[in-house]
């Protein structure tokens, strides 16, 4: 089994990936409650002025915005 080696913060604009796991941080709980759970597909769709926060499309259903620091908690599956 391959371990996840990159996070949401490493995605390039427009790229999609599937969530592998989240780091054990209080903010990860918030992210999960807002739908970022392992197995869900997310797409990096844009960033705010000055490059932070970023926004992602979750599960092809809705848009979440989060800071890059938080994006580092979301680990992605390798294709």
4 binds another protein (CB under 8 A): no
- Residues between 24 and 63 with contacts to another protein, criterion CB under 8 A: 24-35, 37-38, 45-53, 55, 57, 59-63
Q: Under a CB-based contact definition with an 8 Å cutoff, are residues 5 and 11 in contact? A: no
Helix (H) or strand (E) holding 58: strand 54-58
Binding residue for another protein, selected from 10, 16, 65, 72, defined by CB under 8 A: 65
In the complex with another protein, which residue's Cβ is closer, 18 or 45?
45
12 binds another protein (CB under 8 A): no
Strand partners, 55: 46, 65
59 DSSP 8-state letter: T
């Amino acid at each position: 089994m391959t371990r996840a080696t990159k996070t949401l913060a490493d995605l390039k604009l427009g790229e999609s990936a599937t969530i592998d796991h989240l780091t054990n941080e209080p903010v990860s709980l918030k992210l999960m409650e807002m739908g970022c759970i392992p197995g869900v597909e997310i797409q990096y769709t844009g960033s705010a002025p000055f490059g932070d926060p970023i926004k992602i499309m979750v599960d092809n259903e809705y848009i979440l915005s989060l800071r890059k620091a938080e994006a580092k908690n979301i680990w992605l599956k390798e294709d």
